[in-house]
A and B are shown apart, each in its own frame.
Chain A
């Protein structure tokens, strides 16, 4: 069986909206460097493959389609790509994957920012591409027309479906541009050749000349090819349209199966979309861990009570023992999943439970390694370092 990968998704005080009220949370530290540094160190202690750091331009809301006026949940967040940059220097081995929006952030900026994160972390950067454009996001920028009004009722209307399909097509172009810019400096373009008074070999620098339906970008990047060549691109996907995006452009896709049958069906659909491409599939799970099933459930239920509603999540919620979670992960792995991305219900509590309890269990079952096998994230995930797509073009030409 292939290697099992275990990642963890970081967001605020944890994935329960009342997580910050847990005695184990650090609600006063959410906007400090120390908080995020400690979380990464804990994940690295558990030899986890990578962390993702969630992000959104719009403020958190209990309403999925608009801002709300609640004051009893965490509101406010820092820029995820910069959190990643801040915590990278103090760590080693573990991958760091911030979320970035494709709808507003310039692809040129994203490409150089993630390349820079790859330099800072010496080859441990990735990006979770997030398709935005919904809710109040357009108004924050004022650069695009407002999207059609959204609600659970309008989601299936042709207008909204077309809007969403177009945003995902745009996201595919976006990733294409980001990837081309990463390749726009071939390896070894910097020659520092005193004899010919040349710092770079300009034949190894390439315009990308991307012309798409939504935008065009000339290139090359201002940042040389990053250490991994291509940092790892990830996508969270819940249905066919995003599966297709992941299949076209991502290295890792996070999916949200809720039961074994669904898990098998999703995997089959994603594999079919990927058509043999090396796309790794991870299942997302929200986790609340406890010494026994009852205490784990009680932890979650207490937070539900504080929040005034039962936790709603796109991903399956597991409240139980580390043993039960290990069983579930093993099941997914046997189905053919490459890994899991765990969303801790409360931070740092459930992350610590993962590293202290779950990881040793997985190891005992022969599912998880006892050391980091590589220094780069691609190496960690068993991905080769690709040569630049432009490399062959320059061979034997004098363009």
Chain B
């Protein structure tokens, strides 16, 4: 018996405020104006994508105490933009990244349930936490959260949100003018929660939304993160792995952990981010990729990217010369503030990079382009469609969150050229067959699994 072809989940990502987004391209448009978001979201919906996804940043990055002026910076509030996008789309899921550190569950659960109502059941939340004191400077509480408490906060935050979403039953609003009864019961919305992070009670104001619970996404590949995704309830986890050799074991691990928590097979979706560069021929695509990578990473940009690991001022090193001869300074005051640390072990990372540069003869900038300018899918539309499909059918993931170096039109050629090929193969829907984000993803309504995870 052959396994049925998996349907590829596609998310569209817009609005990178980082080096990947090329602002110097004459075709680059606003990363702020609503028209940009509308264009990208409607393009994704034209391509029958499952959802549209926005990241979050709560402080402008700084380098040596000065605001970063080199990359795209500045963004609107993502929940507000996604809610407005509900007005100009009809099926596309709308997923916001929102920080559980600098928000409170009562307010955020209310916002997410509101988006779900106002979009007819298309809301999703990518839950992140931050222990960043620098970002905390913009908020009343400051940087209060210890690094080791991040998952406690995230898990408890999500548990509180779920309790709030469950505080109204689907049939609590009668609005029966005949009997004069608006509510079915006098205590609709009543809740109480007491934990390490939150001790709150009262009545929630938002009646149960179309999806009941918005779809939950989560990033983080540590054992703690995987266990949270598999047991605590996220419906999807980001994957950082782009080769089948790395991706398959991760995929398997998530499925096994989910099964141990009593979740049905396939109920935790695995989604890596992915960028693409298309060309008329493979050589053309490779050349385009080279040009884009150089536009993404200027000489000065290369110095700054390496500074995120070296944690030293590298502005005195020639971008076209060899790697800096000094060792990184992982314990010194941060050169770059407000950016998640991607490489945890700086000494180890730098020694690997030195080896990489030596064996390839890379300059400082060439190394930065190699490490940070990577695009996962480069080729003709047919090649890209083949690789995306093979990756999913071979259980590297359940789909991808597709981003582009160009705002807001970068997705257009993917939808025009790659999507029809995936549809021809039977790996992507040709039309939506439901109305909610859960329908798009093929995941069931959330049900409380606490009885299963308690053991």
A interface residues with partner B (beta carbon < 8 Å): 20-21, 23, 25, 27-28, 30-33, 37, 56-59, 67, 69-79, 81-83, 85-90, 104-109, 112-113, 115-117, 119-120, 122, 136, 139-143, 185, 190, 192, 194, 197-202, 205, 214-220, 222-224, 306
B58→A82 contact, CB < 8 A: no
A119→B32 contact, CB < 8 A: yes
B185→A71 contact, CB < 8 A: yes
B84→A86 contact, CB < 8 A: yes
Q: Of residues B24, B32, B57, B80, which shows the largest number of chain A Cβ atoms within 10 Å of its Cβ?
A: B80
- Determine the chain B residues whose CB is within 8 A of the CB of A88 once the complex forms: 84, 87
- Which residue from chain A places its CB closest to the CB of B185 in the assembled complex? A71
A86→B86 contact, CB < 8 A: yes
Instruction: Report, nearest first, the 5 A-B pairs whose CB atoms are least far apart.
Output: A69-B186, A27-B175, A218-B137, A116-B76, A71-B183
Give Cα A214–Cα B140 distance, bound, in whole angstroms.
8
B76→A79 contact, CB < 8 A: no
Give Cα A71–Cα B181 distance, bound, in whole angstroms.
6
* Cβ of B118 under 8 Å from chain A: yes
A222→B33 contact, CB < 8 A: no
**B69-104 Cβ-contact flags toward A at 8 Å (1 or 0):** 111111111011101101110000000000000111
* Cβ of B224 under 8 Å from chain A: no
B184→A71 contact, CB < 8 A: yes
A83→B118 contact, CB < 8 A: yes
B183→A185 contact, CB < 8 A: no
B60→A205 contact, CB < 8 A: yes
A112→B77 contact, CB < 8 A: yes
Which residue from A57, A120, A200 sits with its C-beta under 8 Å from B69? A200
Which residue from B88, B139, B185, B204 sits with its C-beta under 8 Å from A106? B139
- Known contacts A78-B114, A142-B198: A109-B77 contact under CB 8 Å: yes
Which residue from B106, B114, B186 sits with its C-beta under 8 Å from A82? B114
- Known contacts A120-B34, A215-B140, A222-B59: A59-B205 contact under CB 8 Å: yes
Q: Of residues A88, A199, A214, which shows the largest number of chain B Cβ atoms within 10 Å of its Cβ?
A: A199
- Known contacts A79-B110, A190-B74: A139-B69 contact under CB 8 Å: no
A166 to chain B, nearest CB (A): 15
- Which residue from chain B places its CB closest to the CB of A72 in the assembled complex? B180
Give Cα A77–Cα B118 distance, bound, in whole angstroms.
12
A223→B76 contact, CB < 8 A: yes
* Cβ of B453 under 8 Å from chain A: no
* Cβ of B349 under 8 Å from chain A: no
* Cβ of B201 under 8 Å from chain A: yes
B81→A78 contact, CB < 8 A: no
Q: Of residues B38, B137, B184, which shows the largest number of chain A Cβ atoms within 10 Å of its Cβ?
A: B137
- Determine the chain A residues whose CB is within 8 A of the CB of B67 once the complex forms: 200, 202, 205, 220
A59→B107 contact, CB < 8 A: no
A40 to chain B, nearest CB (A): 11
Give Cα A59–Cα B33 distance, bound, in whole angstroms.
35
* Cβ of B438 under 8 Å from chain A: no
Give Cα A21–Cα B178 distance, bound, in whole angstroms.
8
A59→B60 contact, CB < 8 A: no
A120→B203 contact, CB < 8 A: no
B65 to chain A, nearest CB (A): 10
- Which residue from chain B places its CB closest to the CB of A26 in the assembled complex? B175
A72→B69 contact, CB < 8 A: no
B87→A86 contact, CB < 8 A: yes
B60→A222 contact, CB < 8 A: yes
A112→B180 contact, CB < 8 A: no
* Cβ of B168 under 8 Å from chain A: yes
- Determine the chain B residues whose CB is within 8 A of the CB of A72 once the complex forms: 180-182
**B108-123 Cβ-contact flags toward A at 8 Å (1 or 0):** 0011011101111000
B23→A202 contact, CB < 8 A: no
- Which residue from chain A places its CB closest to the CB of B57 in the assembled complex? A222
B138→A104 contact, CB < 8 A: no
Give Cα A83–Cα B87 distance, bound, in whole angstroms.
11
Which residue from A20, A32, A136 sits with its C-beta under 8 Å from B202? A136
B183→A89 contact, CB < 8 A: no
Give Cα A25–Cα B176 distance, bound, in whole angstroms.
12
A181 to chain B, nearest CB (A): 9
- Known contacts A82-B83, A106-B139: A222-B75 contact under CB 8 Å: yes
B307 to chain A, nearest CB (A): 16
- Determine the chain A residues whose CB is within 8 A of the CB of B203 once the complex forms: 58-59, 67, 136
B57 to chain A, nearest CB (A): 6
A75→B70 contact, CB < 8 A: no
- Which residue from chain B places its CB closest to the CB of A205 in the assembled complex? B67
- Which residue from chain A places its CB closest to the CB of B209 in the assembled complex? A31
- Determine the chain B residues whose CB is within 8 A of the CB of A33 once the complex forms: 86-87, 117-120
Which residue from A75, A89, A141, A223 sits with its C-beta under 8 Å from B75? A223
B140→A119 contact, CB < 8 A: no
A224→B186 contact, CB < 8 A: no
- Interface hits, B181-224 → A, CB 8 Å: 181-189, 198-207
Which residue from A21, A119, A143, A198 sits with its C-beta under 8 Å from B177? A21
B80→A106 contact, CB < 8 A: no
